[in-house]
Amino acid sequence: MASIVDTSVKHAYSSMAGAPAINGTAGSLIAALDAFLVTGWGSKSVDSAVISNGVCRLSFASGKSAAEIHSVIQVSGATPAGLNGEQRVTAVANGWVEFKTALPDGAVSGSISFKMAPAGWVKPFAGANLAVYQSQDPQSTRMFLHVDDTGSVSARVVGFESMTDVSSGAGAFPSLLQMPGGGYWAKSAQATAASVNWVLVADSRKFILLIAPNSSVGATFRAGITRGFGDDLHFRPGGDSYACSLSFAETPAQGNQGAGGLDGPAALLHAMPRNYTGLGSSVLHVAAPFSGSSNAVSGMDAAFGSFPSPVDGSLRLTKKYLAEFVGATPRCELPGLFHVPQASAFNTFKTGDFIPGTGALAGRRLMALTPSMGYSSAPTAGNAGVSFVDVTGPWR
The pLDDT of residue 294 is: 95
CA–CA separation, 207 and 297 (whole Å): 20
Banded model confidence at residue 258, pLDDT cuts 50, 70, 90 = confident
Task: Please give the single-letter amino acid code of residue 221.
Answer: F
Banded model confidence at residue 386, pLDDT cuts 50, 70, 90 = very high
The percent of residues in the chain predicted with pLDDT above 90, rounded, is: 92
Banded model confidence at residue 1, pLDDT cuts 50, 70, 90 = low
The pLDDT of residue 257 is: 76
Q: Which of 196, 200, 205, 340 is nearest to 263 (CA)?
A: 340
pLDDT tens readout for residues 72-109: 999 999 999 999 999 999 999 999 999 999 999 999 99
* Average pLDDT, integer, range 59-84: 97
The pLDDT of residue 63 is: 93
HSE on the CB side for 319, CA within 13 Å? 14
Per the CB < 8 A criterion, the answer to whether 366 and 351 are in contact is: no
pLDDT surpassing 90 at residue 12:
yes
Per the CB < 8 A criterion, the answer to whether 244 and 161 are in contact is: no
pLDDT surpassing 70 at residue 293:
yes
pTM: 0.96
Backbone φ, ψ for residue 284 (5° rounding): -85, 140
Please give the mean pLDDT across all residues of the chain. Answer: 96
pLDDT tens readout for residues 103-157: 999 999 999 999 999 999 999 999 999 999 999 999 999 999 999 999 999 999 9
Segment (H or E) for 259: none
Q: Which of 233, 322, 250, 331 is nearest to 286 (CA)?
A: 322
Residues 6+ apart with CB under 8 A from 250: 179, 183, 184, 256, 259, 260, 269
CA–CA separation, 319 and 3 (whole Å): 28
Is the pLDDT higher at 258 or at 209? 209
Q: Is 277 exposed, middle or buried (0-12, 13-18, 19+ CB in 10 A)?
A: exposed
CA–CA separation, 84 and 108 (whole Å): 11
